[in-house]
């Protein structure tokens, strides 16, 4: 599934929000989904696709959707 996380974060920054991938990682950790920035980057860019990447990307999608709704 395509989440377009990088593009969506860039759009939020263009709209004046200071959000980056590291902010998504922090929010994932708050939700008890442990991932480091390097793994998150590999999953977002499709370099690696282990089973847990789908959980991480779908939760990141939800987080970004919440930020987009606040716009």
What's the 3-state SS for the chain? CCCCHHHHHHHHHHCCCCCCHHHHHHHHHHCCCCCCHHHHHHHHCCCCCCHHHHHHHHHHHHHHHHHHHCC
Task: Report the C-alpha gap between 58 and 14 in whole angstroms.
Answer: 23
Q: For the segment 47-57, what is each residue's pLDDT rounded down to a tens digit? A: 999 999 999 99
What's the predicted TM-score (pTM) here?
Answer: 0.93
Is the Cβ–Cβ distance between 44 and 6 less than 8 Å? yes
Q: For the segment 18-65, what is each residue's pLDDT rounded down to a tens digit? A: 999 999 999 999 999 999 999 999 999 999 999 999 999 999 999 999
Residue 37: per-residue pLDDT: 96
């Amino acid at each position: 599934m395509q989440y377009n996380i990088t593009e969506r974060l860039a759009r939020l920054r263009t709209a004046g929000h200071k959000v980056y991938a590291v902010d998504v990682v922090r929010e994932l950790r708050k939700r008890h989904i442990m991932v480091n920035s390097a793994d998150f980057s590999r999953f977002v860019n499709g370099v690696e696709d282990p089973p847990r990447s789908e959980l991480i990307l779908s939760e990141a999608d939800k987080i970004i959707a919440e930020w987009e709704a606040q716009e």
